[in-house]
Amino acid sequence: MPVGTQGTVKTQSPQDLEALGVSIILGNTYHLYLRPGADLVAEAGGLHKFTGWTKPILTDSGGYQVFSLKALNRITDFGVEFQSHIDGSRHIFTPENVIEIERKLGADILMPLDVCSPYPIEFAAATVDIERTTAWAKRAKEKWRQKPGYQTLFGIVQGSIFEALRMKSLESILAIDFPGLAIGGLSVGEPKEDLLRILEFQAPLLPESKPRHLLGVGTPEDILDGVYYGMDMFDCVMPTRNARNGTLFTRRGKMTIKSASYANDFRPIDPQCGCPACRGFTRAYIRHLLSVGEILGLRLTTYHNLYFYISMMAEIRQAIDEDRYENYRKDKIAQFGMGLESLFD
């Protein structure tokens, strides 16, 4: 799901996203709470009416952003007190008021306040984090249960790269019985082998009846691996953020379109890509737009990267339906390493 941090997927309109085939987007509770404020969004009728996006929305808890502030927060069992990165004002997130904020925002899928352990972290500190995450999850579930309505609440499993803690966290979250599950605390700087090891360890323990969201992942390769280990849902700023920085995803690997080598390259980004950026414009023109700061450049690169990700997910679903996903995954990862010149072979 594309990330719409502040109520918008940067440079893309709701109509653009629908044309891409996007079925759900993610909003950021921390940022929307600070600006424009949950009360204003509620007054507008919720995020769907406020933003013009009529399909499902998932909101994270804002916890990842709060904990990333580090020196600007203070954590207790009650919740986390933090300082706004905008104006320095102080605020408190608790498991209960985060649910209230997400209710006002009107998202369809809610994430409870949790502790996302940084990497690296000692075993003892990670233990404290999962115990606090479990205690907060119970409080969030109780708050949500009082008035669930149409909104679904997921539980978040933590535990960093420690299998014993992952098992303990999962058992605790399953006991609370959330409608869906999210796997957090990965793709936060740990080695790729640890990410895969934890996924391989945890996937067989997850109930098949509940949707599984792998939070904050990631690269095309990581998504392919995540699906292989049984994950269903993904979110990441990578396709949109990379696009704004001039990095494009193609079926043969990443392209740095700002490179001087593309200044006189009048070929499309990828001749087999069906997105508007590839069908109507050249590498040289898109590089020019980015070089002079024209907004069209950001729109085209973002649309291209989102098209790449959404198309890959459609291919993944088709490969699963046709019982050929393992071969698809291997072939896709191998193609990413073939080099950009092979786009025209």
Q: Can you give the residue range of the structural domain that contains 69?
A: 3-236
Pair 217, 255 in one domain: no
- The answer to whether residue 314 sits within a structural domain is yes
Q: Tell me, yes or no, whether 314 and 328 share the same domain.
A: yes
Dist. CA 32–CA 318, nearest whole Å: 35
Does the pLDDT value for residue 67 go beyond 90?
A: no
Provide the token pair at 184. 């957090």
Q: In the chain, which ranges are continuous DSSP H helix?
A: 14-20, 29-34, 38-44, 47-51, 63-68, 95-105, 123-145, 163-176, 192-202, 220-228, 238-244, 276-280, 283-291, 295-321, 325-336
pLDDT band at 72 (very low <50, low <70, confident <90, very high): confident
Asked if the bond preceding 36 is cis, omega within 30° of 0, the reply is yes
Mean pLDDT of the chain: 97
The tens digit of pLDDT for each residue in 26-60 reads: 999 999 999 999 999 999 999 999 999 999 999 99
Distance between CA atoms of 259 and 255, rounded to whole angstroms?
A: 9
% of the chain beyond a pLDDT of 90 = 95
Same domain, 208 and 251: no
Structural domains counted in the chain: 2
The answer to whether residue 70 scores a pLDDT higher than 90 is no
Q: Does residue 231 share a domain with residue 197?
A: yes
Same domain, 57 and 133: yes
Kindly list the catalytic residues.
Answer: 60, 235
Judgement on whether residues 198 and 70 belong to the same structural domain of the protein:
yes
Whether residue 206 sits in one domain with residue 178: yes
Question: Percent of the chain having pLDDT more than 70?
Answer: 100
What is the distance between the alpha carbons of residues 168 and 273, in angstroms, rounded to a whole number?
Answer: 45
**61-65, 91-95, 152-156, 197-201 — which is least confidently predicted?**
61-65
Q: What is the pTM of this model?
A: 0.97
Rounded mean pLDDT of 170-193?
97
Domain shared by 109 and 250, yes or no = no
DSSP-derived secondary structure for 77-115: SS-EEEE-TTT--EEEE-HHHHHHHHHHHT-SEE-----
Residue 71: is its pLDDT beyond 90? no
Please report, for the domain that includes residue 101, its CATH number. 3.20.20.105
Query: Of 199, 216, 236, which closes a domain?
Result: 236
Residue 141 lies in a domain: yes
- Average confidence (pLDDT) over 201-212: 96
> Are 136 and 270 in the same domain?
no
CA distances from 8 to 11, 31, 212, 216, 260 (A): 8, 12, 24, 17, 31
Q: Where are the alpha helices (DSSP H) in 177-233?
A: 192-202, 220-228
Summarised one tens digit per residue, pLDDT across range 232-277 is: 999 999 999 999 999 999 999 999 999 999 999 999 999 999 999 9
CA distances (Å), origin 39, targets 2, 3, 110, 116, 138: 24, 22, 17, 27, 25
Instruction: Give the per-residue pLDDT at 68.
Output: 84
Whether the CB-CB separation of 299 and 320 falls below 8 Å is answered with: no
Is position 18 within any domain?
yes
Chosen domain end from 183, 207, 236: 236
Q: 125 and 23 in one domain?
A: yes
Range 208-235 average pLDDT: 97
